[in-house]
């Protein structure tokens, strides 16, 4: 039965690798979901501002569920981050369009990562079944893992 030790070791190593990969995909999903929530909040805020007049009082989100009362000075242009710490002034319609594009791209990436995570989970389950079969075949002998 010692001839089963090598395949068992290989499956256990693969299992550890796949578990690490699953954790990485899960962390990516959490980051993507946080980004999606941020884009969604920005889009909702811009949609709420659109059409308001100068001087209109509004609550501006600060983050962590906190808001500050503000008065709108310009409802046609906003300053929008474009990455790497760079921001540009854009009109509100272009900004909404850009945010919707970002949201669509993030959703596409999220779906891809979820699919990859699902494949890893399936592979993990298959490996667990194979490990269980090999252990049964060993009939309770000690397993030497090197």
Q: Which residue has the higher pLDDT, 130 or 138?
A: 130
Query: What tens digit of pLDDT does each residue of 100-111 get?
Result: 999 999 999 999
Could you tell me what percent of the chain has a pLDDT over 70? Answer: 94
Q: Band the pLDDT of 143: cuts 50, 70, 90.
A: low
| Domains of the chain (ranges, CATH numbers) | 2-138 (1.10.287.370)
**How would you class 54 by CB atoms within 10 Å of its CB: exposed for 0-12, middle for 13-18, buried for 19 or more?**
exposed
Query: What tens digit of pLDDT does each residue of 112-133 get?
Result: 999 999 999 999 999 988 988 8
Rounded to an integer, the average pLDDT of 126-144 is 78
Tell me the pTM. Answer: 0.79
CB half-sphere exposure, 86, CA atoms < 13 A: 4
């Amino acid at each position: 039965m010692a001839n089963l030790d090598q395949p068992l070791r290989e499956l256990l190593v693969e299992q550890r690798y796949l578990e690490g990969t699953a954790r990485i995909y899960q962390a990516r999903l959490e980051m993507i979901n946080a980004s999606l929530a941020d884009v969604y909040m920005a889009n909702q805020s811009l949609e709420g501002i659109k059409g308001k007049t100068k001087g209109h009082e509004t609550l501006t989100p600060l983050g962590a569920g906190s808001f500050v009362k503000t008065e709108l000075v310009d409802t046609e242009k906003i300053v929008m981050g474009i990455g790497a710490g760079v921001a540009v002034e854009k009109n509100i319609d272009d900004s909404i369009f850009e945010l919707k594009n970002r949201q669509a791209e993030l959703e596409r990436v999220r779906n891809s990562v979820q699919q990859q995570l699902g494949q890893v989970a399936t592979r993990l389950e298959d490996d667990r079944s194979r490990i269980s079969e090999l252990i049964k075949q060993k009939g309770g002998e000690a397993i030497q893992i090197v």
